[in-house]
C-alpha cells in the first residue's frame, strides 16, 4: 500500500474521470491489498462480494461509478493465485490466502511464455477484450516494468500503434529504452516514450509528472524538459 496508494491517488487527480483502468500480468494480490487499505478509492475486479466471491463478466459490463470516490478497475490478464474452479465447472471463485496448489481445484494462472496462450476462455477473454478497447480509445498507455515479450500484449500494442495516431506508449522501468522497446514490439510507426526509473515510493512523483506532461494538449513527445529529477537508488 505504501507504493500503490500515492500512485493511485495521484493518477485519480490527473484524470478527467475517476476511473483508473489497470491491466496487470502479475498473479499476486498486491493491488487488491493496497486498495483495501484506501478509504477514498474502491476496487472492482469482476468478483461479486459476499461469503463466496464468484467472478462475473457482468460486473465489468455494468460497472457504475460510486459517488465521491475513485475506482480502480482491475483486469488480471494472466489470472491470479487466488482464482480457482472445480474441474469441468465454469464458476470462477476467489479464495484469498489459499496455497498455489489446492487439491481438487484448477488454478487459473497463465504462466510467462512466448508461445500463444489460450485467452479465448474466461477469465482471460474479458480482460483482453477490455485491453483492446482501452488501447483503441486511450491517449496514453503507461506500461510499468513490462518487458514487452508477451506475444499477446506485443501484438495488440503494435497493431494499435501502427493504426492509430495520437496514442502514446510510455514505458517505465529501470532499463526502459525507446529504441529497444520499439524493436521488441516491432512497430514501424507510432509514439513510444520511455522513463528510465524504478517503480518505487521515491519515484512516484517523477512518474506522475511524466504522465501529466504527456497528457497536456498537443504534447506528443519529450519528457526531459518537464520531468523533475528524483533521487534514485
Domain borders along the chain are: 1-110, 138-227
Q: Which of 97, 16, 110, 94 is nearest to 59 (CA)?
A: 94
pLDDT tens across 33-54, in order?
888 888 788 899 999 887 789 9
Alpha-carbon gap, residue 133 to 207, rounded angstroms: 24
Confidence check: pLDDT of 232 > 90: no
pLDDT tens across 202-221, in order?
999 999 999 999 998 765 55
Confidence check: pLDDT of 228 > 60: no
pLDDT tens across 115-174, in order?
788 899 999 999 999 999 999 999 999 999 999 989 999 999 999 998 877 899 999 999
Cα–Cα distances (Å) from 159 to 30, 69, 142, 165, 186, in that order, read 30, 34, 16, 12, 10
Amino acid at each position: 500500500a505504501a507504493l500503490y496508494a500515492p500512485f493511485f491517488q495521484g493518477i485519480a487527480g490527473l484524470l478527467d474521470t475517476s476511473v483508473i483502468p489497470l491491466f496487470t500480468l502479475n498473479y499476486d494480490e498486491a493491488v487488491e491489498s493496497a486498495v483495501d487499505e484506501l478509504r477514498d478509492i474502491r476496487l472492482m475486479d469482476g468478483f461479486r462480494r459476499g461469503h463466496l466471491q464468484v467472478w462475473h463478466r457482468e460486473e465489468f459490463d455494468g460497472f457504475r461509478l460510486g459517488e465521491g470516490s475513485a475506482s480502480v478497475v482491475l483486469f488480471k490478464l494472466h489470472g491470479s493465485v487466488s482464482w480457482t474452479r472445480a474441474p469441468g465447472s465454469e464458476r470462477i471463485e476467489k479464495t484469498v490466502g489459499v496455497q498455489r496448489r489446492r487439491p481438487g481445484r484448477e488454478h487459473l494462472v497463465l504462466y510467462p511464455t512466448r508461445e500463444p496462450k489460450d485467452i479465448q476462455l474466461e477469465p482471460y477473454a474479458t480482460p483482453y477484450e477490455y485491453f483492446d478497447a482501452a488501447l483503441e480509445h486511450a491517449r496514453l498507455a503507461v506500461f510499468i516494468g513490462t518487458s514487452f515479450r508477451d506475444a499477446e500484449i506485443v501484438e495488440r500494442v503494435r497493431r494499435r500503434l501502427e493504426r492509430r495516431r495520437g496514442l502514446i506508449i510510455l514505458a517505465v522501468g529501470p532499463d526502459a529504452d525507446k529504441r529497444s522497446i520499439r524493436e521488441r514490439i516491432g512497430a514501424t510507426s507510432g509514439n513510444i516514450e520511455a522513463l528510465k526509473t524504478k517503480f518505487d515510493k521515491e519515484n512516484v512523483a517523477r512518474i506522475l509528472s511524466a504522465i501529466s506532461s504527456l497528457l497536456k494538449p498537443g504534447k506528443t513527445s519529450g519528457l526531459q524538459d518537464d520531468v523533475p529529477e528524483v533521487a534514485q537508488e
